[in-house]
Amino acid sequence: MAEAHTFAIDPEFRWGFNFPEDTRVIRLEDWLGLLTLCFAPLLGHIISGVPTIVRRSRKTPSWLDQMCLYNPTTILWRYLAIVDRRVRQKSWSAADMAASNAYFWTDDGWDGSEEMMIRSRAFCARTPSHNRTELLSTDTLKTVIATLQGIQAITVMVRGILGVNGIGNRTFVGVIALDNIFYPLASLGILRLFAAMWLTEEYSFIECRTDTGAGTGLMAGESSYHLPSYAPSTGDEEYSLTSKPTPAAISSTTFLAEDLQEHPSNETSRPASHWRAVTVRTAYLVCLAVLLVICAFLTSPPPKTDGVDNLSSTGTPNVLWLLAAIYIVLTITSIVTLSFYLVRHRNSMTTVLPCLSSWWYRLYTFVLLGASIAMIVLAGIYTRRTSCGRFTVVPSILDPAICPGAPVRANSESGPFGFTTRQTLNSIDPDTGAVKQVAKELLVRLDGWCSGTLVGNLTEISPVR
C-alpha cells in the first residue's frame, strides 16, 4: 500500500473554502433573522388590514373592543364587505370610499353600516382625491407586500403538498421552522386583492372629544378643523376647533353637503341578488375554501424510514399539529362566519363584522392569540439547523428528505466521507534543498453536507491507507 502523507490545511485554502466549524450551530444573528422572518407575515397581514378608528362618542373603545380588530377573520370580513359594497353601489364617491374604510365608534359600539356611510359625509373633513385607490400610495404598497407574501407562502405550501405525494423532492412539513410558521396566515393576504382598488387611508373625519376632558381636537388622520355648517348638532362643547376653515376646506364642505343632498339614503344600492354581488361573494368564499384545503394538507406527516415513524420520539408532532389546528380552525370559522352574515345581512352589508363585540368572538380571538404564542414558543424550542444549513423542526433522521445532495461523514464506512482537491504545494528537494512546487491531489475529510450538479460519471480511485 502507498504511504499516506498528511498536510496541514493552508490558511488561504481554509479561508477560500469558507466552511463553518459546525453547520448545526444557530448563532444570535440567525435567531434574530428567524424572528424577523417569523413576524413579517403576521405584521404585514394585520397592519395592512386593521382600519382607522373614528371616535364619534365621548367614551373611548376599551382594549377588549379593539382586540378583535386584529383577528384575521375580522380583516377578511372587512375586505369582503368593502368590495361587496362597491359592486352594489350605483353611485360611488370618494366620500363613500373613505367611510367604507373607517370603523366608527359610537355610543352603541362599532358602526360600519351603509347608513353611517351616508351620515359620515356631514363630518368628513377630507376625502381621497379619487373614488379609487391611488396607484402611487402607501395603500398600494401594502397591497403589493401582502400579495407577494401570499404568493410566496402559497408556492411553498403547494410544493410541499406535491412533495408529500412524491412530486418533487421537498415537503413543507420538512422545512417548517420558526421563520415560516405564519406562512398559512400570509397566504390570506391574497384575498386583499379583491378590495385593493378601494382601500385607502387618505381621509380625515372630525372626532368627538373623549371623556378625559382633553382640550385638543381629535382627528382621524390629520389635524382637524371644524365644519360650522354641517357639523353634528350636539353642541360645540363636544367637538374641537383647532384651526379656522380654509377656502379648500369650505369647498370640500360644500361638495360633501351637495353629495349628502343628492344621496340622502342608501337607495342607490343594488340588491344582494345582483350578479356582481353574487359573483364576488362566491369567488371570495371559494378562494378561502381553497386555502382551507391547503392548510389541511399541513397535517400530512413526513415519509417514514423503514416503516418507522420518525416523529414519534420527538416533540415535533406538537408543533405540526398545533400549526395545522390553528389554521384549520381559523379558515373554517372564517368561512362559516362570513357565510352566515352574508345571508343574514345580505342587503345591508356593514364593514364591521356583526359579531365583533360578542363574547364568543372575543373568546375565539383569545384562543387564537394563545395558540399562536404557544406555537411560536414550541417552534423556537424545536427549531434546529440541518447539516446543509436549512432550518427545520423535524429530527435529523429526515435530513436526506429536506436537503438536496448527500450527507458527508468523515468516519463513515460507506457513502461520502469527504472530497478531493487539486492543490499546488511547496516541496523541498532533499538532495539540493531547493524549493519547488508540486501538484497534489488531496483528500479532505469533513462532516457536513454535499450538494451540487453532477458532471460526468463516477471515477474509480485507488484507496490510500
Q: Taking the CA of residue 254 as centre, how many other CA atoms within 13 Å lie in the half-sphere pointing to its CB?
A: 7
Q: Evaluate whether 169 touches 404 at the Cβ level (below 8 Å).
A: yes
What are the backbone dihedrals phi and psi of residue 192, each rounded to the nearest 5 degrees, phi first?
-65, -25
The predicted structure's pLDDT at residue 19: 55
Distance between CA atoms of 442 and 253, rounded to whole angstroms?
A: 83
* Residue 337 confidence (pLDDT): 94
User: CA-to-CA distance for 392 and 385, rounded, in angstroms?
Assistant: 6
Cell numbers representing residue 59 in the block:
367614551
Cα 282 from Cα 87, distance rounded (Å): 13
Q: Helix H segments across 55-137?
A: 63-67, 72-88, 94-101, 114-119
Residue 171 pLDDT: 56
53, with CB counted inside 10 A (0-12, 13-18, 19+), is middle
Q: What is the pLDDT of residue 258?
A: 46
Q: Is residue 98 a contact partner of residue 127, using CB atoms and an 8 Å limit?
A: yes
Instruction: Mention every residue, 6+ apart, whose C-beta is less than 8 A from residue 263.
Output: 91, 118
Structure-block grid coordinates of residue 313: 420520539
398 touches 310 (CB < 8 A): yes
pTM of the model: 0.75
Residues 6+ apart with CB under 8 A from 312: none
Q: What is the pLDDT of residue 159?
A: 79
Strands 204-205 and 124-126: what pairing? antiparallel
DSSP secondary structure letter of residue 27: -
> Which one-letter DSSP state was computed for residue 417?
-
Q: How far is CA 385 from CA 29, 173, 175, in A?
A: 13, 15, 10
3-state secondary structure of 353: coil
Mind listing the pLDDT tens digit of every residue in the chain (465 residues)? Answer: 445 555 555 655 555 555 555 556 788 888 899 999 999 888 888 888 888 889 988 888 889 989 999 999 999 999 999 999 999 888 888 999 999 999 999 988 899 888 888 888 888 888 888 888 888 888 899 999 999 998 988 888 887 777 666 665 555 556 788 888 898 888 888 999 999 999 998 888 888 765 544 433 444 444 333 333 333 434 433 443 333 344 444 444 444 444 444 444 446 777 777 888 889 999 999 999 998 888 777 655 555 544 444 455 455 567 778 888 898 899 999 999 999 999 887 767 889 999 999 999 999 999 999 999 999 999 888 888 877 777 888 777 777 667 766 777 777 777 677 777 776 766 676 777 677 776 767 777 776 667 666 666 666 666 555
Assess contact for 165 and 301: CB atoms under 8 A: no
Number of residues that this document lists for the chain:
465
User: What local confidence, expressed as pLDDT, does residue 251 receive?
Assistant: 43
List Cβ neighbours of 250 (8 Å cut-off, separation of 6 or more): none
Residue linked to cell 353642541: 235
Output the DSSP codes for 183-212. HHHHHGGGGGGGGGGG-----EEB-PPPTT
Q: Are 384 and 393 in contact (CB under 8 A)?
A: yes
Q: Where are the domains of the chain?
A: 1-23+405-465, 28-382
Cβ atoms of residues 385 and 24 within 8 Å: yes
Best CA proximity match to 198, nearest among 134, 277, 129, 287: 134
